[in-house]
């Protein structure tokens, strides 16, 4: 079997790969000031057509807020809502450590995410690792979402790499399939205990330097 080439850059999905997220946190905070309960709010904001429009750059922060208010009867202010909307993330420690180890070795790293402006503002401010990426390709800026072709073309344009020079990690199989179709080394991410050793071996990182126990 042909040995995999050593990639020249590593592309990370953000949500569920480097950071976890829970829209339930937002829904529970909104519920006391809304006309509907938390589970109904969650059905408005979590992976819905409304969120899709926001994450493809078709709605501004204000337009998204107004649409959520119309759907939920939320009585709070826009600033309060956006702060809560951004504050739903926690680091996935071993994966962040992997990204940091690659940065330390001088390997270019890129974030490649279906996301929105408020989430990225919060992540950029709250998580120092994010500011060490070489570059970023974000759906709301490109106005295209994975697995659409155009956003993958944007990664190649931003990074200057293509084909097997790119190692791509994502938790969604359809996104990985689109990357593999372009010749990228595209790996599904399920568990840091599997991903970290595999990437470390391919990239020549010292084995065991990134703790993954209990991940």
Indicate if 16 and 52 belong to the same structural domain.
Answer: no
Q: Per the omega criterion (within 30 degrees of 0), is the bond before 147 cis?
A: yes
Contact 159, 153 (CB under 8 A): no
Residue 80: which CATH number? 1.10.150.240
Indicate if 75 and 181 belong to the same structural domain.
Answer: no
Helix count (H) and strand count (E) of the chain? 11, 7
* Residue at which a domain ends, from 86, 111, 136: 86
Contact 12, 184 (CB under 8 A): no
Indicate if 115 and 180 belong to the same structural domain.
Answer: yes
Residue 109: which CATH number? 3.40.50.1000
Query: Mean pLDDT for each consecutive 10-residue tract of the chain (215 residues)?
Result: 83 98 96 98 93 96 97 97 94 96 97 96 96 98 98 98 98 98 98 96 85 61
Question: What total of structural domains would you count in the chain?
Answer: 2
* Residue at which a domain ends, from 69, 86, 103: 86
| pLDDT for the residue 122 | 94
Indicate if 125 and 75 belong to the same structural domain.
Answer: no
pTM of the predicted structure, to 2 decimals: 0.94
Indicate if 38 and 107 belong to the same structural domain.
Answer: no
Residue 77 gets the label, from left (phi > 0), alpha (psi -120 to 50) or beta, of: beta
Strand partners, 20: 90
Domain that holds residue 78: 23-86
Indicate if 162 and 188 belong to the same structural domain.
Answer: yes
Residue 50 is assigned to a structural domain of this protein: yes
Residue 214 is assigned to a structural domain of this protein: no
Task: Look at residue 133 and give its three-state secondary structure.
Answer: coil
* Residue at which a domain ends, from 86, 111, 131: 86
The CA-based diameter of the chain, rounded to the nearest angstrom, is: 61
Task: Look at residue 16 and give its three-state secondary structure.
Answer: coil
| pLDDT for the residue 1 | 47
Indicate if 158 and 116 belong to the same structural domain.
Answer: yes
């Amino acid at each position: 079997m042909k040995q995999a080439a050593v990639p020249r850059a590593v592309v990370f999905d953000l949500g569920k790969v480097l950071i976890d997220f829970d829209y339930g946190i937002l829904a529970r905070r909104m519920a006391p000031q809304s006309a509907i309960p938390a589970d109904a709010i969650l059905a408005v904001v979590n992976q819905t057509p409304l969120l899709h429009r926001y994450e493809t750059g078709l709605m501004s922060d204000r337009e998204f807020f107004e649409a959520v208010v119309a759907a939920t009867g939320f009585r709070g202010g826009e600033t309060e809502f956006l702060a809560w909307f951004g504050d739903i993330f926690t680091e996935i420690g071993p994966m962040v450590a992997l990204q940091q180890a690659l940065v330390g070795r001088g390997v270019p790293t890129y974030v490649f995410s279906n996301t929105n402006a408020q989430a990225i503002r919060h992540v950029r401010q709250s998580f120092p690792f994010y500011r060490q990426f070489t570059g970023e390709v974000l759906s709301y800026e490109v106005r295209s979402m994975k697995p659409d072709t155009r956003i993958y073309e944007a990664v190649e344009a931003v990074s200057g790499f293509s084909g097997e020079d790119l190692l791509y990690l994502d938790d969604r199989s359809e996104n990985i399939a689109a990357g593999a179709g372009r010749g990228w080394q595209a790996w599904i991410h399920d568990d840091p205990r599997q991903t970290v050793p595999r990437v470390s071996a391919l990239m020549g990182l010292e084995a065991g330097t990134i703790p993954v126990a209990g991940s």
